[in-house]
Structure 1
């Protein structure tokens, strides 16, 4: 052991043999701990539910997510009890009706299990749209048009007929003629190609993580154009359980830019910070707990590409689930218990003389696999 320690001492900056001994013992202890953790994780991953549940009780890593999920469920249920005004329920159910209208062949009666629920939640929200944050009326006009198309397409049925009568008694959004039937399933123009493949590929290559920005103000009009594109991204049942928190005040930017760890060394030159925020109060069941992260990421990618078309650049900062960082972000951003940061983004005009990482991507043959053998039954 002493010969090994002398070798460590000769190849390092340790001041004494004692320092090398301490380093050696600590390293061995860390190796043993790491080995024990690996064995425990392997056991938990292969164990039966009760055994893995026991592991989760010993680990704090999942507790914040569990609390956020439970808080989101409680908020969802509370919104239902409070006069049924739950906008996420309305969005989900209207989208389910849309999918039913697009089916081939279309059933003469569908949606019986949830049509009355859908009409009721629409009726409550349209009577007081500010409660649902749908104050622009666009979503309510969409709901009105889809429900109108649904009842026109539905055959005679006691449940559907009752829901139809309730719907007829509802006021249209804004007390007007609603959307005029425009926001319903439609045929796309398939021979129209606004962007060719080569153009899209060039845009994807051009988009790289920018860490050095010009020190000039970013127009909110440009940001909103990019957010508009982000809002068109796919979302599970069209619930869109995310928001973008935007900070462009220099003092606030400095505080927000210090939250993610990936900004060290250049955070002082970021003009705008964007927080991609997921909300877990959009879901009635734990099975959807990952949707805010998925949908938020889809929207953020569209946002990043849109920024490039407007002469702006961005950098996405990873947000690992570290409790002390989560607690600080919750405090700084004033988050609700059911809100969780997906990740952070820096935005601005790229500095012309600055370089970006080449970031060689994995080859196509690695990221794509056709027809993997599957187990049937």
Structure 2
């Protein structure tokens, strides 16, 4: 039995490493399909591998870092075969930045359900904006030191690199965490399907119009984000944000729609401002709404139990026993939630009114 367990652990580690490597490499190839040029340097407006790497670390723990490093190495090999100092610096930064994001998020007690405002703020300011300075600094600083990039071009290229990596975390990581925590409800209410269908139709019609129209209509995306957050929380708003970001990136790299006739710097500034504002709105608004609904549900259940206790006391009966594991916490929700770490039967994808019950939050795995 011991021998079987000893063989199983390396096999699981190997499979996990290969899976993370494959996902990172696939995301990298997708990110390389579209690019912009700033001061002669080519960069991706959204770099999905950073989001994949941070999500993998949050789900599997530090043990998956070799998969991130190997995936980054394979992506670099698909671009160049020469191992220059700049390439080594890019590889180191691509590995260290997600690790730093994970350690910072772990330090503040981040939860993968993103059901609290503090989790949304932590992912934005620690996981994306702070940690991704490492990859941008190493990726741009070493070419400047070796003379491959002019010193005067450092800040424009650094900003483009940093924003691209940060956008990967802000858009891709929440979607992957949403899929990880999702749980299908077999019998959703009929009206939820109708509203979800209406939202999908509205997104499919308005988002392409906003991102490809020659008239500046990008503001049309924000009502859809608000609708998705209010009725479907993280699922509704982040999926809408992902589609809008992808279409806006396609329009920007093609120089069409609201990005037509702009210089390269103007295209980068307009695209990154739109993507950043949209991702922040989607992530933080859904976190606030989910936290408020969990708090309301906890208070309602506490009041219901108090009424039951008073009824028993009035009738001269002892109060009903309360299971030791049931606790009420306005910050964590109630203790009678579904399977730890998973969305409940009323998951936000299908429950547009009640939202998920993230009562028994599962601590993040660090194995």
TM-score tier (shorter):
under 0.3
The structure richer in helix per residue is 2
Structure having the higher strand fraction is 1
Q: Under a length normalisation based on structure 1, what TM-score does the superposition of the two structures give?
A: 0.23
Bigger CA radius of gyration: 1
